[in-house]
Structure 1
Amino acid sequence: MSSDERRHQFGEYLARLRKDAGRSQRRLAEMLCAASGTHSVTRHEVSRWERGERVPDSWVPKIADVLGVPANELERAAAYARGEVDRAPFGGGVVLAELIPPGDPLVPLDTRIDRRIGGEDVAGLAARVHGFRLADDVMAGGDLMAPVFRELNSAMRLYRESTHTENVGRALLVQVGELAQIAGWIASDAGQHEQAERAYRIGIEAARQAGDAPLVANLAGSLAYQLSNTGQEKAGLHLANAALEEAGPDAPPKTRALFHDRVAWAHTRVGEAQSAMQALGRAHDALTEEEPEVAPQWAYWVSRAELEVMDARVFTELRRPLRAVPLLTDVLTRYDATHAREVALYRSWLAVALADANEPEQAAEEARRVVSVAADLTSDRTTGRARLVLRRLQEFEDVPEVRELLHDHGHLLSA
């Protein structure tokens, strides 16, 4: 990463911290002046920091104090931006550093319950975690939110309150991280994005403490995907790249394929077509590599078909329907019909691609299927895609099939 990119990344980080604290640039400057007893900081200086033109030096501890954030994290981020350290905190730079929640919900308690846990307890938790993954394949987020977060809270209590060996503790932290990832994914699907982000943050810390870099990357990449889809495209791109860096070149090929796919989507969302296509190519290349070791269980679903779906979604987003339509059509002919949410989501992309290809009649047919399935799912993602498809088809309202579709379901646009 170039020095300009490092400074720009720090500037975006500082701007987010300031906004989270509810301060304007002018107010931050005033507070810094009051804290230092001088008038040497202006709104324009704060603006230069946030644009990446300069990196504050002696002001960093006072900025941290005024914004109520850990000074050591801000100082490490500034040092990375100035090029004083070669590797950013936690391997993913400023972006990953800011995800760790204040305090540590995983710190063992001084007083523990009289229970010693071992490998069998961890294996039981691992089975329940994978059970939630499989349930997510056929159920929507709204149906799974309560039980998965109960399980996550229970797993954290188990780690904090019981006694165990170092190896068992590390294995337990891995399962907490994996559970946090699926909990975050489920919450995001239910439209509970703040709760999803908190789960991802907890999971990143658990995986980091366990020394599991691919799992850290999976959690960070999952959050990057959420950011890319919820109006924070630049932050999503920074975090997707940070996740890939965290995983490193020695991560199992199947996991690297997933991380490259997320980078491709993040580039797509910011309109960087060439970079997106390059990342798609790297994802396919990674998947064809020989697996030197068994991929982690959480990557069970990564396959050529899933990469082709992402290919098609990127092509659709970049308005290349002639490439998207054949891919999605082929994948849908062989996709497991019990995965109703995924089928509906993929059909929504097909509907948009067909509209872009000036095939409104077929697009309306696919859209009707999407709306029908979305009505039966407690999935915010599916509902949102249904609305997006209906909006996309409004320009074809003179076509009978589209007019009928909008007559039957147009009310969803104002819901």
Structure 2
Amino acid sequence: MDWSQNKALRDAARDGDYGRVIRQARKAVGLTQRQLGEACGLSQSAMSRLEDRGVGTYNMTLLASAASHLGIPPNLVGLADHDRNGNSTVERREFLAGVAAIAATPAITPQPLARPEWDSGQAAALRVATTAFRRLDATVASRDLTEATQSHVRLIQRVASQAPDASHKARMAAVGSEAASLVGWLAWDMADHGSARTWYGSAIKAARTAGDPLLSAYQTGSLAQFEVEAGNTAEGLRLITRARRQLGADLPAIAAAWLASIEAVAHATAGDDRATERALRTCEQNTARVSREDPPPWPWVFSFDERKVASCRVVCGARLGRPRWLASTKDITTALSSGHEKQQALLTLDVASSHLATGRLDSGFALATRALQDGMRLRSGRVVERARAFRRTYTSPTPPGIVRDFDSLLHDAYL
């Protein structure tokens, strides 16, 4: 079927109503909502909600799955076309051309880009680039990503300045919020706390402009997580309360689980056993509900599963440092199954702290040494600073050789 000649589908796609595109295409090929839902791993009611969503935030993975099963060109559901290798041709063309334009333009007197043809694929293409940078963050030094991601934010701002109406401006504000949050995360990884706060603040402001409560709550929660890790637990808890208030009764399980995990770490950092236990219980209960809900909106609400809960238990145990809170072998194994090398290094340092708290000096410093080496390889200031904090927990006038070797490695981190 030649979908490109279907005017109703083209009109729905141009309006950004991808649910209507799916509904019309589904009916055209003779599938029921239940049949298409089963093919995409959804219930009939979830497919119905997708089709009735209108102009809003969609799960891109789900849209791609539905389009594939129906044989719809991806651009009709707001996705970039891909070449044979799975690379986004729209993303590559628009993103690289935009960055080149920025690089060639004087910063003091910026010239506007040529007026874009506003269609539903523009925001999606920019989001694809943001997601690509997020994936690179797992294995690439933040310093090597910062310049490119900041150029990406400037590109989004310049494209957004050409938006023809309020609807497009709001959509681009959401895209800009997601990108600014990523730059804030990279600044945090480089231990540049001042820049991190600035970027997270920009992400929150852009989310408010977008008018998306879930995005606003996510960015507020991200800032809360940063403040907790920076030692400002009272501020972190205040921001968590604000994030929950922004969502009110519409708080989805995945957001509730994530915010509860940050709250648990905040209480553990403050040494409050009971509050930590309550927050962990809330986190576990909401994580059990996640699989029964619709997939979270793409891309800034990530999956939250048992691995995340295990990671939270490991961190809380390390912060409290008391025997009954020490993480189990199962939790440690589950937590360290992440493919994100920087996160693995941070969690390994928490495990090392647990070993140190129980008198296992050699194993604690052996784990910490491995984590520090990974952090130095990835040039992660956050990992190095966490390693310094770990070292400060051990005091001895005559440290053994494994500790002296660790001190030598820490000294090398300055160079």
What band does the TM-score fall into relative to the shorter chain? 0.5 to 0.7
Residues in 2 aligned to 1:249 and 1:412: alpha-carbon distance in whole angstroms: 51
Q: Which amino acid aligns with 1:250?
A: D
Q: Pick from 332, 335, 347: which aligns with 2:338? A: 335
Q: Which amino acid aligns with 2:212?
A: D
List aligned pairs for 1:162-173, cutoff 5 A.
Answer: 162-173=162-173
Q: Deviations over 1:267-314 (max 9, x none)?
A: 233333322221111111111114432202222343210221111111
Residues in 1 aligned to 2:214 and 2:288: alpha-carbon distance in whole angstroms: 18
Return 5+ residue gaps in structure 1 as ranges: 1-110
Return 5+ residue gaps in structure 2 as ranges: 1-111
Q: Which amino acid aligns with 2:338?
A: Y
Alignment partner, residue 271 of structure 1: 271
Q: 1:390: Cα distance to partner? A: 2.4
Residues in 2 aligned to 1:122 and 1:312: alpha-carbon distance in whole angstroms: 38
Residues in 1 aligned to 2:368 and 2:164: alpha-carbon distance in whole angstroms: 53
SS at match of 1:294: coil
Is the 1:390–1:410 Cα contact (8 Å) retained in structure 2? no
Alignment partner, residue 46 of structure 1: none
Q: Deviations over 1:214-251 (max 9, x none)?
A: 21111111111222222433222211221122233323
Residues in 2 aligned to 1:395 and 1:220: alpha-carbon distance in whole angstroms: 41
Instruction: Kindly indicate whether residue 234 of structure 2 is the aligned counterpart of residue 234 of structure 1.
Output: yes
Q: Which amino acid aligns with 2:148?
A: P
Residues in 2 aligned to 1:342 and 1:321: alpha-carbon distance in whole angstroms: 24
List aligned pairs for 1:16-165, cutoff 5 A.
Answer: 114-160=115-161, 162-165=162-165
Please report the TM-score for the alignment, with normalisation by the length of structure 2. 0.66
Residue 282 to residue 227, structure 1, CA distance change in 2 (3 Å): same
Q: 1:253: Cα distance to partner? A: 1.5
Alignment partner, residue 206 of structure 1: 206
Q: Deviations over 1:304-344 (max 9, x none)?
A: 102211111112111135543425532256333xx221111
Alignment partner, residue 314 of structure 2: 312
Residues in 2 aligned to 1:177 and 1:185: alpha-carbon distance in whole angstroms: 12
Q: Which amino acid aligns with 1:303?
A: D
List aligned pairs for 1:255-270, cutoff 5 A.
Answer: 255-270=255-270
Residues in 2 aligned to 1:372 and 1:413: alpha-carbon distance in whole angstroms: 9
Residues in 1 aligned to 2:143 and 2:413: alpha-carbon distance in whole angstroms: 21
Please report the TM-score for the alignment, with normalisation by the length of structure 1. 0.66
Is the 1:140–1:341 Cα contact (8 Å) retained in structure 2? no
Q: 1:140: Cα distance to partner? A: 3.2
Residue 396 to residue 136, structure 1, CA distance change in 2 (3 Å): farther
Identity of aligned residues (%): 22
SS at match of 1:137: coil
Alignment partner, residue 284 of structure 2: 284
Alignment partner, residue 25 of structure 2: none
Residues in 2 aligned to 1:413 and 1:374: alpha-carbon distance in whole angstroms: 9
Residues in 2 aligned to 1:119 and 1:192: alpha-carbon distance in whole angstroms: 36
Residue 168 to residue 204, structure 1, CA distance change in 2 (3 Å): same
Residue 195 to residue 399, structure 1, CA distance change in 2 (3 Å): closer
Q: 1:119: Cα distance to partner? A: 0.8
Q: 1:350: Cα distance to partner? A: 0.7
Q: 1:351: Cα distance to partner? A: 0.7
SS at match of 1:309: helix
Q: 1:255: Cα distance to partner? A: 2.0
Q: 1:399: Cα distance to partner? A: 4.4
Q: Which amino acid aligns with 2:136?
A: A
SS at match of 2:328: helix
Q: Which amino acid aligns with 1:261?
A: S
Residue 321 to residue 222, structure 1, CA distance change in 2 (3 Å): farther
Alignment partner, residue 301 of structure 2: 299
Residues in 1 aligned to 2:250 and 2:395: alpha-carbon distance in whole angstroms: 48
Residues in 1 aligned to 2:144 and 2:303: alpha-carbon distance in whole angstroms: 21
Residue 241 to residue 377, structure 1, CA distance change in 2 (3 Å): same
Q: Deviations over 1:44-69 (max 9, x none)?
A: xxxxxxxxxxxxxxxxxxxxxxxxxx
Q: 1:384: Cα distance to partner? A: 0.5
Residues in 2 aligned to 1:291 and 1:396: alpha-carbon distance in whole angstroms: 55
Q: 1:400: Cα distance to partner? A: 4.8
Q: Deviations over 1:195-215 (max 9, x none)?
A: 222221222122112221121
SS at match of 2:125: helix
Alignment partner, residue 346 of structure 1: 347
Q: 1:382: Cα distance to partner? A: 0.5
Q: 1:414: Cα distance to partner? A: 8.3
Q: Which amino acid aligns with 1:257?
A: A
Residues in 1 aligned to 2:411 and 2:163: alpha-carbon distance in whole angstroms: 56
Is the 1:141–1:190 Cα contact (8 Å) retained in structure 2? yes
Q: Pick from 328, 338, 348: which aligns with 1:326? A: 328
Alignment partner, residue 92 of structure 2: none
Residue 333 to residue 319, structure 1, CA distance change in 2 (3 Å): closer
Q: Which amino acid aligns with 1:183?
A: V
Q: 1:413: Cα distance to partner? A: 9.1
Q: Which amino acid aligns with 1:353?
A: S
Q: 1:355: Cα distance to partner? A: 0.3
Aligned length: 301
Alignment partner, residue 27 of structure 1: none
SS at match of 1:393: coil
Q: Deviations over 1:94-148 (max 9, x none)?
A: xxxxxxxxxxxxxxxxx99633422111110111111122112222322221111
Residue 179 to residue 352, structure 1, CA distance change in 2 (3 Å): same
Q: CA RMSD in A?
A: 2.5
